[in-house]
Amino acid sequence: MTSAVDTTRIRRLLDRPLTVGDLTVSNRIAMAPMTRNMSPGGVPGPDVAEYYARRAANNVGLIITEGTYINREAASAYDNVPLFYGEQALAGWAHVAEQVHLAGGRIIPQLWHTGVARTATEPPAESPSGVGLSGDPTGKAMTQRDIDDTVAAFADAAAAAERLGFDGAELHGAHGYLIDSFLWSGTNQRTDRYGGDHASRARFAVEIVEAVRAAVSPGFPLFLRLSQWKSGNYQAKIAETAGELEQILTPLVDAGVDAFHASTRRYWLPEFDGSDLNLAGWVKKLTGKTTVTVGSVGLDQEFVGAGGWQKQAAVAGIDQLLDRLERDEFDLVAVGRALLANPDWANKALHGNLDETIAFDRSVLKSLN
């Protein structure tokens, strides 16, 4: 069992509030966004509301929803993923937000355009240069009109989130999806103002952030999720050095990002040579902004690797996570699979009872437990 001293340390580090803009969360535990494919017709039902509210009732401080499609036909790639536009879908999301708030939690939607992940041919996948993550020709290169319309769709979705009573919004700028494909030289081969050096490749994301900031209240917090790795390419990097990362982050901060959600598969791995800081730690050091870490928290292995999805992952301790929190490497901790297997994971963590949690098994993906 966890000792009384450890429990005191856990509460001191995890059970403390954090404020970002007008959002204050009660503790440092967030639910990571995880695609569940359980919204038929793109409409989140009462079961989705119950799924998120269950975690909020068990002391998850911030819910970051699964990715939700913006109002752009080419944004979608997977079936039964919720939309963040249209009367029915938005009514469903309003109910989700209401239920999470009634359970004592806070919630932000993740706004998503899947980019080259789309396999349907009409309309074709959209990307900076018509190049897929493998380097092969995929879909179409976006025109200026495509870019402008997509920027506007992100802004409309963020405005809808505020109107529905959400506590902020997150842009999905990671894992090789559309925003990230502009940030990465492997997929961005443009020679106009959206391509070239690191700052230029960040321009598309900057324009989205600026449009969102203009569409919502000044205190409505905007999170941006970013990653080095791409789906199926775990060695990819948008920045080889901390200096290159700073060139990407600085214009995003200037545009109005309030918090960065730095996605890694294993939070304990250092990002650059010469320092043990992980990606979230480097982002915080370079920007001074609130950062969220994520990656196999509470489990002993990453969710996906060269062999595909891991079917199982054993329970692991969080001592190293606490060490990093203690030195302010990052501010929030996003938990994914451990929260799927254990809706009460946050409650158990805050009370030093993680030895009572169960391992992750892929079978939990079959239902919204």
H or E element that contains 99: helix 87-102
Helix (H, G, I), strand (E, B) or coil at 334: strand
> Do the strands 62-69 and 106-112 form a parallel or antiparallel pair, or are they unpaired?
parallel
H or E element that contains 107: strand 106-112
Contact, 320 vs 268, CB < 8 A?
yes
Among candidate residues 177, 194, 234, 267, the one labeled active-site is: 177
End-to-end CA separation in angstroms for the chain: 26
- For the record, the structure tokens of 49 come out as 């509301």
Tell me the C-alpha distance between 304 and 299, whole Å: 13
78 classed as catalytic: no
Q: Where are the beta strands (DSSP E) in the chain?
A: 18-20, 23-25, 29-31, 62-69, 106-112, 126-127, 140-141, 169-175, 222-230, 259-263, 290-294, 304-305, 308-309, 312-313, 332-335, 360-361
Tell me the C-alpha distance between 336 and 160, whole Å: 26
Helix (H, G, I), strand (E, B) or coil at 133: coil
Classify the phi-psi angles of 14: left when phi > 0, otherwise alpha if psi is within -120 to 50, otherwise beta.
Answer: alpha
Nearest to 30 by CA among 263, 238, 323: 263
Nearest to 242 by CA among 271, 267, 268: 271
Q: What is the DSSP letter of 188?
A: -
Name the residue type at position 303. F
Helix segments in 129-241, DSSP class H:
144-164, 178-183, 198-201, 203-215
Please give the positions annotated as active site. 177
